[in-house]
């Protein structure tokens, strides 16, 4: 689940940047949504790390995961300036990565019932976020 943890962590960094850079006509709603979003991504990261540590099923390299998350974040946002028009596309990219990683992990069939429940809940929440972001983008 390390890849999923890294995606959530990179999403946290990205959403926080977007929150800070929110501006324009939709400032208040964007600022609030993105503020909630970086907290949501942080919670997802934390839940995965704690589950992996608690189950002892994977080596946990927190510093390495954070370094990888910064590289993913850098790949998505380095040098980009975000505007009210383009941030939804970037967030949708993160959500697609979350959903894809969850699907891939569950297909392996290695997850305990509790981990399956955790990941399915994360997928459900991601689908709801995608709906909201798509509404903002249209």
With the CA atoms of 33, 38, 42 and 44 taken in that order, what torsion angle do they form, in degrees rounded to the nearest 10?
50
Cβ count within 10 A of residue 19 = 19
pLDDT at 38: 95
Hey, what are 72's tokens? 């993913």
Percent of the chain at pLDDT exceeding 90: 62
Mean pLDDT along residues 88-111: 93
pLDDT at 118: 97
- Residues 3-49: tens digit of each pLDDT: 999 999 999 998 998 898 888 888 999 999 999 999 999 999 999 99
Q: Is a pLDDT exceeding 90 seen at residue 82?
A: no
pLDDT at 8: 96
Closest residue by Cα to residue 116 from 129, 96, 102: 102
């Amino acid at each position: 689940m390390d890849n999923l943890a890294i995606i959530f962590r990179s999403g946290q960094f990205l959403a926080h940047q977007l929150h800070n850079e929110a501006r324009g006509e939709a400032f208040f709603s964007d600022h609030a949504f993105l503020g909630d979003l970086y907290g949501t991504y942080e919670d997802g990261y934390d839940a995965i790390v704690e589950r992996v540590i608690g189950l002892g099923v994977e080596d946990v390299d927190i510093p390495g995961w954070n370094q990888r998350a910064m590289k993913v974040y850098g790949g998505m946002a380095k040098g980009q300036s975000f505007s009210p028009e383009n941030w939804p596309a970037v967030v949708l990219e993160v959500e697609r990565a979350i959903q894809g990683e969850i699907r891939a992990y569950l297909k392996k069939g290695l997850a305990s019932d509790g981990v399956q429940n955790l990941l399915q809940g994360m997928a459900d929440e991601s689908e709801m976020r995608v709906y909201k972001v798509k509404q903002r983008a249209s």
